[in-house]
């Protein structure tokens, strides 16, 4: 009996030791990432492929350079970007999920925003490096980036911006963490929906294919 117990323990230890460890950046707070619908697809993929991922929050541009240099294995929660300037970055071709970009604002300061065209009247902010968000509001009265989501919402609350462009869930999460009542805010309808990708250093090209297959399989199961 003792022999069997030791054998099972040895197998379990060997299985854990075989897990592939990855250091992965994310441009959103790690706490928020684990609440996002995309994580419900990533987590079973991690289990299926026996991955142990350590996440850390990094600004977008810094993250690109860290992946390219190999300091970091990859980046999760990225929309499509032109990575042709980097020699060592590859993309997992199957999107993990999608993000929904909205205009986020205080109800008492701004009338209802229904479309991108409505942004032309306002001072608009977005997160530095998240160019697609800024491009959506290119006709704004004033357009400027902020360092991160926390700074962005603080600037909105302080009157520096009238409206911010942000993923709906991230805006609500950040405002709540800063202690602002949810009832004070409003969001526009979804202004753009974009696929969310996982990027890797090219040394993980075999893993990229495995992740693509796993994401596709998991999404198919979850859709039923």
**Same domain? 75 vs 110:** no
Mean pLDDT, to the nearest integer, of 74-95? Answer: 88
Say if residue 159 is in the same domain as residue 213: no
pLDDT higher than 90, residue 205: yes
Q: What is the pLDDT of residues 23-46, one digit of tens each?
A: 999 989 999 999 999 999 999 999
The answer to whether residues 201 and 183 belong to one domain is no
pLDDT over 70 (residue 102): yes
Host domain of residue 167? 99-193
Lowest-confidence region among 8-12, 80-84, 218-222: 8-12
Q: What is the CATH number of the domain that holds 171?
A: 3.40.190.10
Do 85 and 106 lie in one domain? The reply is no
User: How many whole angstroms separate alpha carbon 87 and alpha carbon 64?
Assistant: 11
Tens digits of residue pLDDT in 169-191? 999 999 999 999 999 999 999 99
pLDDT at 143 over 80: yes
The single residue listed with the structure tokens 């994310």 is 26
11: pLDDT strictly greater than 80:
no
The verdict on 93 and 63 lying in the same domain is: yes
> Looking at the 3D structure of the chain, how many domains does it have?
2
Which phi and psi angles does 21 have, rounded to 5°?
-90, 135
Q: Output the pLDDT for position 17.
A: 52
Does the pLDDT value for residue 47 go beyond 70? yes
133 with 160, same domain: the answer is yes
Mean of all residue pLDDT scores within the chain: 90
Q: Rounded distance, CA 59 to CA 99, Å?
A: 18
Cβ neighbours, 10 Å, residue 167:
24
Whole-number pLDDT of residue 80: 72
Looking at the fold, whether 113 and 92 belong to one and the same domain comes out as no
Instruction: Answer yes or no: is pLDDT of 209 > 90.
Output: yes
Q: pTM of this prediction?
A: 0.84
Same domain, 106 and 146: yes
Distance CA 211, CA 205 (A): 10
Residues 109 and 170 in one domain: yes
Q: What is the average per-residue pLDDT within 162-168?
A: 96
């Amino acid at each position: 009996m003792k022999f069997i117990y030791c054998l099972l323990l040895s197998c379990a230890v060997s299985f854990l030791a075989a897990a592939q460890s990855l250091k992965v950046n994310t441009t959103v707070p790690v706490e928020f990432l684990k609440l996002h619908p995309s994580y419900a697809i990533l987590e079973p993929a991690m289990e299926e492929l026996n991955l142990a991922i350590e996440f850390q929050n990094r600004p977008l541009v810094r993250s690109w350079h860290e992946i390219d240099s190999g300091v970091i294995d990859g980046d999760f929660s990225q929309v499509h970007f032109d990575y042709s300037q980097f020699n060592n970055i590859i993309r997992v071709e199957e999107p993990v999920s999608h993000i929904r970009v909205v205009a986020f604002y205080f109800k008492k300061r701004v009338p209802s925003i229904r479309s991108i065209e409505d942004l032309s009247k306002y001072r608009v902010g977005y997160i530095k490096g998240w160019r697609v968000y800024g491009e959506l509001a290119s006709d704004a009265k004033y357009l400027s980036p902020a360092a991160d989501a926390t700074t962005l919402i603080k600037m909105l609350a302080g009157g520096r911006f009238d409206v911010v462009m942000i993923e709906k869930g991230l805006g609500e999460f950040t405002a709540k963490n800063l202690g602002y009542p949810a009832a004070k805010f409003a969001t526009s309808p979804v202004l753009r929906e974009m696929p969310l990708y996982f990027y890797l250093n090219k040394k993980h090209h075999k893993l990229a294919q495995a992740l693509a297959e796993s994401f596709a399989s998991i999404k198919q199961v979850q859709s039923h």
